[in-house]
Amino acid sequence: MTPELMEAGARTRERMAAKPEAGKSGGRAASYSRVVEPGTLDTAHGGILYLEDITVSFDGFRALNKLSLNIAAGELRCIIGPNGAGKTTMMDVITGKTRPDAGSAFFGSTIDLLRLRESQVASIGIGRKFQKPSVFEQLTVFENLELALKADRRPRAAVFARLSGAQLDRIGEILTLIHLKGEAQRLAGLLSHGQKQWLEIGMLLMQDPKLLLLDEPVAGMTDEETERTAQLFVSLQGAHSLVVVEHDMKFIDELTRDDPAKKVTVLHEGSVLAEGSLAQVQANDKVVEVYLGR
């Protein structure tokens, strides 16, 4: 092989390893290297979420200001930041609820999130948990999970359709994971606040999302429930990617305890102020000034 050919090959490999170009749809480089089904999640380059230079303005006020953030496949990323930092707006952009004025957002290398509607984002494997639990209080825990499995979301249709053995097994697994095995036949409305949060997380897991977005999941939980939730999330990393927005530093500490190098991102005024291990961001003067020192 000539040096020119080797050089050209190296350049092609570099291009293929690069993440998608900002603003372009579909990650052309990825399609050179292997066959990727349209709409299929491609994490071969290691990343599951790429936000680049996202800007969102509300009446001239920049809620997000050239925000860039990359999440690796299987990663559990904690996002902290003071009130108004842009955390919810960032989730809204990822899930198609808010369209940015500028920037790009890719799910894996090839799926351009900015071209999808909110309902499509949910169906490609991005699950979002809002702060307030929204379970069907008049149904049992089991029926809530059953409902989350079904395409037809009307409670009566879902409850009366027969479940396959595999589906029953899956519900059993999730019940164990969310610590509600003993409560399966209990009405969801009778659960504690923390248990309702777990049930809703279980309902998301029934859809087997690749990326879970969790907005202040432990707000209102007891210390014990918070610790169990941290254990649950840590057990999900790897098989799922998780982005956890949280104010509770004790919870962040519990989420990062298995790996002290685990990244924590601090948002401030719509941009990333700092990123690093929990110890690093806690020792960062800018972070102390805008957030932790308050």
Ligand X SMILES: Nc1ncnc2c1ncn2[C@@H]1O[C@H](COP(=O)(O)OP(=O)(O)OP(=O)(O)O)[C@@H](O)[C@H]1O
Residue among 84 and 172 whose Cβ is closer to ligand X? 84
Q: What is the smallest separation between the CB atom of 278 and ligand X, expressed in angstroms?
A: 18
Check if the beta carbon of residue 212 is closer than 8 Å to that of residue 129: yes
We find the least distance from the C-beta atom of residue 64 to ligand X, in angstroms, to be 8
End-to-end CA distance of the chain: 62
The Cα–Cα gap between 140 and 120 comes to 28
Distance in angstroms (rounded) separating the CA atoms of residues 41 and 77: 19
Strand, helix or coil for residue 35: coil
Q: Which of 45, 77, 87, 262 binds ligand X (CB under 6 A)?
A: 87
Q: Among 30, 75, 89, 234, which residue sits at the site for ligand X (rule: CB under 6 A)?
A: 89
Closest separation in Å from C-beta 87 to ligand X? 4
Stretch that binds ligand X, among 21-29, 80-88, 175-183, 195-203 (CB under 6 A): 80-88
96: Cβ contacts below 8 Å, ≥ 6 apart: 113, 116, 117, 118, 120, 121
CB of 166 to ligand X, least distance (A): 38
Q: Which region, judged by CB under 6 A, interacts with ligand X, from 5-13, 41-49, 87-95, 226-234? A: 87-95
27-66 residues near ligand X, rule: CB under 6 A: 58, 63
Site for ligand X contains 217 (CB under 6 A): no
- Output Rg (C-alpha) for the chain, integer angstroms: 21
Q: Return the sign of the alpha-carbon dihedral for residues 229, 235, 236, 241.
A: positive
- Count the site residues for ligand X by CB under 6 A: 10
Q: Which of 2, 83, 119, 164 binds ligand X (CB under 6 A)?
A: 83
Binding ligand X (rule: CB under 6 A), the pick from 48, 85, 214, 290 is: 85
Interaction between residue 132 and ligand X (CB under 6 A):
no
Looking at residue 139, the DSSP 8-state letter turns out to be: S
Q: Which of 27, 81, 100, 194 binds ligand X (CB under 6 A)?
A: 81
Tell whether residue 243 is a contact of ligand X (CB under 6 A). no
86 is a contact residue toward ligand X (CB under 6 A): yes
Backbone angles phi and psi of 269, in degrees to 5: 45, 45
CB-count burial class (<10 Å; 0-12, 13-18, 19+) for 169: exposed
Q: Where do runs of H (alpha helix) occur along 84-219?
A: 87-94, 118-123, 141-149, 155-160, 165-177, 193-206
Q: Least CB distance from residue 95 to ligand X, whole Å? A: 13
Footprint of ligand X on this chain (CB under 6 A)? 58, 63, 81, 83-89
